[in-house]
Amino acid sequence: MNEITSVNYTNESYGEWDIKQKEIFEPCFFDGYNEGINAFELNLGVSYPALLHEQKVQYLKVFCLHCLDFLYFDGDLDKDLFYNLGYLQASLYRGFIEINNINSSLPEGSPGLRLHFDSHLKVLDISKIPETEKPAIIKAVPVEKPKPEKSTPAIETSPSLAFPRIELMCDLEEVEAIWRVLTAPMNTSKGKEEAALSNKELTDFLGSAFSSNAFPQILRHPENPFVKRTSRGDMRSVLNALMYSTYNLNHEYNRSVNQIEYVTSLKRHFSVFDGSKPESIKNVISANALKGMKVIKESRPINPHIEEMLSILKKHKLLH
C-alpha cells in the first residue's frame, strides 16, 4: 500500500485504514512472515520426508487449503492478527513453492508456477473485457489465388468462448434455489418491486454465467448473451448478496476461481453495474451483501423462495 493506493482504493467498511496504520502493522506482518518461513519444515511434521512424491503433493494441498481457510483480513486492526496473517502467508507461499518443485521433479513434469501465472493472466483478461464488447465474427483475409488446402473458414467466436463461465462444483440445485428469489417480488426502499427475472431469464442467466463439467446438460449456454436491466439501490445490493453467496458456496469445492471472476460476471450480466470497475465491486461486495441480505429477509412475506435460500445458507454456515 502507498499513497496512490489510498487515493484510488475506497472501502466503506474500514475508513480507519490509512498510511499511518501501515507503519504500525506492516512490521507485525513481516515478523510473522519471517517466522512462518523458518518454521515451515517444523509444521509439516516428522513423517512428511518419508512420504512418496505423490503423497507429498496431496499432503501439501491440504496444508495450503488449511492456511487459506484462516488467511483473511476482516478489518480488525490488531497487531497479533497481522502477525498471524504474515505467518500464514509465509506458510502458504512455501507450501505452494514446494508443490511446484515436486511436480517439476516428477517424470514428464513441468513447473507448476507457469499454471499459476496463466490463471492469473486469465483473470486479468476477463476483468478487462469491455462491457459493450460483443462477440465478433472473424473472417479470413482473402488472397489473390486461394488454394483449398490453405483456405481459412470464417470463425465465429461464440459467447461461451468470448466470456468464460465459472465452473460450479457445488450443488447446482442449491445455486439455482439461491438465485430463484429474483423470480418473485421484493420489498425495497422504493416499495414493492416485481420479479426481476422470469423463470426463463433465470435459466438463461445461470447458463450464461456458470458451467458444470459434471452436469453439462443442466447449465446450458443460451443462444444469446444474457444481459438484464434492474433498478438501482436495493436491487443492486441484492445482486451482490446473491453472487457473494454463490462465491462462498462454490469456493469450498472450486478454489481455482478468483472472486474477481464472480464480480466480473455480475457486471457483465446486469447493466446496473455499468460504470463500476470489477475491482471496485470486489472491494465492497461483502459489505453490500449484508445490505442485500437485509432486503431479502424483509421480503419474506411476499417472496416464497426466500426461506429455502436462507436455509441453504444456514446449512453451509454462511448465515447465522
CA distances from 296 to 191, 195, 242, 248, 320 (A): 13, 13, 10, 17, 14
Q: Which amino acid is at 64?
A: C
User: pTM above the 0.85 mark?
Assistant: no
| Structure confidence by residue, pLDDT tens digits, 100-116 | 888 777 665 554 444 44
Give yes or no for a contact between 116 and 64, defined as CB atoms under 8 angstroms apart.
Answer: no
Across 28-32, average pLDDT? 93
b/e sequence 109-145, b meaning 16+ C-beta within 10 Å: eeebeeeeeeeeeebeebbeeeeeeeeeeeeeeeeee
| Structure confidence by residue, pLDDT tens digits, 85-99 | 999 999 999 998 888
Residue 70: per-residue pLDDT: 86
Q: Judging by beta carbons within 10 Å of its beta carbon (0-12, 13-18, 19+), is residue 71 exposed, middle or buried?
A: middle
Spatial CB neighbours of 291, under 8 Å, sequence gap ≥ 6:
234, 237, 240, 241
Average pLDDT over the chain, rounded to whole? 80
Q: Which three cell numbers stand for residue 250?
A: 462454490
Distance CA 5, CA 182 (A): 36
Give yes or no for a contact between 216 and 258, defined as CB atoms under 8 angstroms apart.
Answer: no
Distance CA 295, CA 105 (A): 53
| Structure confidence by residue, pLDDT tens digits, 116-135 | 444 445 555 655 555 455 44
Ranges of H-type helices in 71-158? 79-105, 113-127
Across 314-319, average pLDDT? 88
Looking at the predicted structure, is the pLDDT value of residue 217 above 60? Answer: yes
Q: Which amino acid is at 6?
A: S
Give yes or no for a contact between 312 and 178, defined as CB atoms under 8 angstroms apart.
Answer: yes
Residue whose C-alpha is closest to residue 244's, from 148, 173, 179, 154: 179
| Structure confidence by residue, pLDDT tens digits, 140-193 | 444 444 444 433 333 333 333 347 899 998 899 999 999 999 999 999 998 999
Both ends of the chain: CA-CA distance in Å?
33
Spatial CB neighbours of 176, under 8 Å, sequence gap ≥ 6:
202, 206
Q: How confident is the model at residue 65 (pLDDT cuts 50, 70, 90)?
A: confident
Neighbours of 53 (CB within 10 A): 13
Across 53-68, average pLDDT? 88
